[in-house]
Structure 1
Amino acid sequence: MESYMLLAQAIATAVVTFLLYELWCLRKKVRKLTKSPSLNSKVVVNKKYAPEPPGAWPIIGHLPLLVSAKQPHRAFAALAEKYGPAFMLRMGMSPMLIVSSREVAKECYTAKDHVFATRPVTTAGKLMAYDHSVMGFTPFGTYWREIRKIATVELFSARRIGMLKPVRQSEVSLWMKGLHEKWVHNGKSSVSVELKSQLEELTFNLLMQMVAGKRYYGSNVAKADEKMAGLFRHAVQQFNYHLGNSEMYDALPFMAWLDFKGDAKAMRNTQKDLDYIMQTWLDEHRVKADQMRGDAINNTRDFLDVLVMMEKTGQFSSAINDIDTTIKALALTQLVAGVDSMANTMVWVLALLLNNPEMLAKAQDELDTKVGKDRLVEESDIPNLNYLQALLKETLRMYPDGASLGPTRGNGGPPRGWVLRATWAAYSSTHGPYNVTQMYGPSPTGLTLRGS
């Protein structure tokens, strides 16, 4: 028993020593970067980057303030009202600059974009995103420039998006057919539908068809794909769960090393599952590419086809050392980045319209007038649906895609610190151009986003 107590004391001593050492390193770094420029002066200047709320604890900083808030994005907005459009928080052992106004964000991400362009090293990025190879986790540099060029020129060009139009039409038609069948099976009477899960299935199938030519959601999954589909659904669910719960490890890095709850191990297992799936798809597409001839090479349908053809024709830059990892990371980027944002936005649009019958009626009238009742809406109709576009923009104003954007860092921010764009706070500020936080509806013209 005594030996166990000694062991516990030794571990506790080691942890406290490590924490004190990290705190000492942080303070030393800050002092080094904030010395007076005078060559003869040794005085340390108390250089503040922005106002900082009181109440920061040693080591854990302002984390209790955010943990106690049920909705951290509203806490950011309240702090912005009190301390201004830019303020500092101590997120554990790292300082973070919170940007909560359009003007300051424009200065950071356009005029000074080169300063704030890089991404910080994170636990999730290291353990689940091919060591920061997935876009959104990638630090600024040569690799980032190369994969951005591939995504812009090869994957998201107007020609490539146009080639995938039949895929999008087919998936939307299948989804609507599934909803219609629910109505028929219920005796052609009203039936309750959990819309968020339905929209997530639609979005996933759309993205998967565009990325890999697969369908893993809904009732039309191929028999041969059922096992892989189940593994993929579980892996993506775990990815999103750990991505949303890994901030504590970034704020307090020693927790990832100790891994009390086993989250780091779970993230590694999630990465293994996703890598197995991505590698299986990649191998299938390589076999498919070997069998393609003539015009089929130029008319490939999904993103993995394009990337494999780039590999076969030697179009990858010499700056990319591991082509397999790059292809898998690009494929994973499309799947994990777009699902929640699109599904959540569609849910908010429908929910707000159902709670505003007059606006719903106007949107329906516009569809009847500009599209008609004898055909489905085409993508080419969208530029003519001005009121519907205004409703979508207004929804994004009130409920932006992500209450805050992913953190960045650079030599213009706080030492060893991050910069976070509080999107919801920027759009809801009473000092900004909107000043109508709880009001829903396009501007009086009915055509543009309020304040734009």
Structure 2
Amino acid sequence: MEEEEEEVAYSLSVPAILITIFALFVSLHFITSLFTRKLGGNRAKNAGRIQKTAPKAGGSWPLLGHLHILGGLVPRHLVLAKMADIYGPIFTIWLGVRRAVVVSTWDIAKECLTTNERAFATRPRLVCSEVMTYNYAMIGLSPYGPYWRQVRKIATLELLSNHRIELLKHIRESEVLSSVRDIYENYH
């Protein structure tokens, strides 16, 4: 009888402990995010610079950001176009916990990708990217820097040169032909 009472008391206390730990983590996250934002704002004021930021799109959820808006039945490009009508040609959205800049005019996109390409060329340094790509060894996920520039140069000269493309033309043609044949056989 006493063992059953102990098991019942133990089983009732475990969810309470888990809820308490979860609430503690959420509150610590909230406090640290407020603290870091406050420090970041003071740093900008102390530097004497006025930092211009793009308008922030409303409607984001904590941890999810704007993913609930982009995940509906309406195509994403139409959702972003509607948001551009509301917030202007350049604005920021949250994709999960990462902030992303959305540019919707050709002029601003050209300025971002040509004039200011170094500011937009890098990728976020994530632990999963570092582990999966063997310390950022893959060009697709490596951050902008000397290694990325060197690998891009090698890829451009060795893989994408006109001579190499002509040498591999027959392989591309055979792959396209076999893909079209597979599609025809599967759906006809």
Report the TM-score when normalising by structure 2. 0.72
Retained in 2: the 8 A contact 1:89–1:98? Answer: yes
Rate the CA distance shift 1:85–1:69 in 2: closer, same or farther, 3 A.
farther
Task: Supply the distance in 2 between the matched residues of 1:166 and 1:62 (Cα, whole angstroms).
Answer: 44
The answer for the alignment partner of 1:163 in structure 2 is: 167
Q: Deviations over 1:405-438 (max 9, x none)?
A: xxxxxxxxxxxxxxxxxxxxxxxxxxxxxxxxxx
Task: Supply the distance in 1 between the matched residues of 2:37 and 2:63 (Cα, whole angstroms).
Answer: 15
Amino acid of the residue matched to residue 56 of structure 1? S
Task: Supply the distance in 2 between the matched residues of 1:62 and 1:170 (Cα, whole angstroms).
Answer: 42
Task: Supply the distance in 2 between the matched residues of 1:56 and 1:173 (Cα, whole angstroms).
Answer: 45
Task: Supply the distance in 2 between the matched residues of 1:62 and 1:56 (Cα, whole angstroms).
Answer: 5
Residue 194, structure 1, aligned to residue 161, structure 2: no
Task: Supply the distance in 1 between the matched residues of 2:172 and 2:61 (Cα, whole angstroms).
Answer: 51
Task: Supply the distance in 2 between the matched residues of 1:93 and 1:167 (Cα, whole angstroms).
Answer: 42
The answer for the alignment partner of 2:129 in structure 1 is: 125
Retained in 2: the 8 A contact 1:126–1:132? Answer: yes
Cα displacement (A) at 1:171: 3.9
> Which among 47, 56, 74 is matched to residue 60 of structure 2?
56
Cα displacement (A) at 1:80: 0.5
Task: Supply the distance in 1 between the matched residues of 2:95 and 2:174 (Cα, whole angstroms).
Answer: 46
Q: Where do 1:98-109 residues align within 5 Å? A: 98-109=102-113
Task: Supply the distance in 2 between the matched residues of 1:72 and 1:145 (Cα, whole angstroms).
Answer: 32
> Which among 9, 12, 35 is matched to residue 16 of structure 2?
9
Rate the CA distance shift 1:4–1:147 in 2: closer, same or farther, 3 A.
farther
Retained in 2: the 8 A contact 1:119–1:140? Answer: yes
Task: Supply the distance in 1 between the matched residues of 2:158 and 2:123 (Cα, whole angstroms).
Answer: 24
Cα displacement (A) at 1:99: 1.8
Q: Deviations over 1:125-179 (max 9, x none)?
A: 3564445432221111222122212211222222222221232344445566x47
Q: How many residues align?
A: 179
Cα displacement (A) at 1:193: 5.1
Amino acid of the residue matched to residue 12 of structure 1? I
Task: Supply the distance in 2 between the matched residues of 1:104 and 1:60 (Cα, whole angstroms).
Answer: 27
The answer for the alignment partner of 1:97 in structure 2 is: 101
Q: Where do 1:62-101 residues align within 5 Å? A: 62-68=66-72, 70-101=74-105
Q: Where do 1:125-144 residues align within 5 Å? A: 125-126=129-130, 128-130=132-134, 132-144=136-148
Amino acid of the residue matched to residue 98 of structure 1? V
Whose helix fraction is larger, Structure 1's or Structure 2's? 2
Amino acid of the residue matched to residue 99 of structure 1? V
Q: Where do 1:406-417 residues align within 5 Å? A: none
SS of the equivalent of 1:154 reads: helix
- Structure number with greater CO (CA < 8 Å, separation at least 6) is 1
Structure 1 segments unaligned to the other structure (5+ residues) = 183-190, 196-452
The answer for the alignment partner of 1:37 in structure 2 is: 45
Rate the CA distance shift 1:194–1:91 in 2: closer, same or farther, 3 A.
same
Q: Deviations over 1:376-400 (max 9, x none)?
A: xxxxxxxxxxxxxxxxxxxxxxxxx
Amino acid of the residue matched to residue 37 of structure 2? V
Task: Supply the distance in 2 between the matched residues of 1:128 and 1:161 (Cα, whole angstroms).
Answer: 29
Rate the CA distance shift 1:60–1:172 in 2: closer, same or farther, 3 A.
closer
Cα displacement (A) at 1:70: 4.1
The answer for the alignment partner of 2:3 in structure 1 is: none
Q: Where do 1:333-352 residues align within 5 Å? A: none
Residue 112, structure 1, aligned to residue 121, structure 2: no
Rate the CA distance shift 1:12–1:166 in 2: closer, same or farther, 3 A.
same
Rate the CA distance shift 1:90–1:156 in 2: closer, same or farther, 3 A.
closer
Report the TM-score when normalising by structure 1. 0.34
Identity rate of aligned residues, in percent?
31
SS of the equivalent of 1:133 reads: coil
Retained in 2: the 8 A contact 1:23–1:93? Answer: no
The answer for the alignment partner of 1:435 in structure 2 is: none
Amino acid of the residue matched to residue 40 of structure 2? L
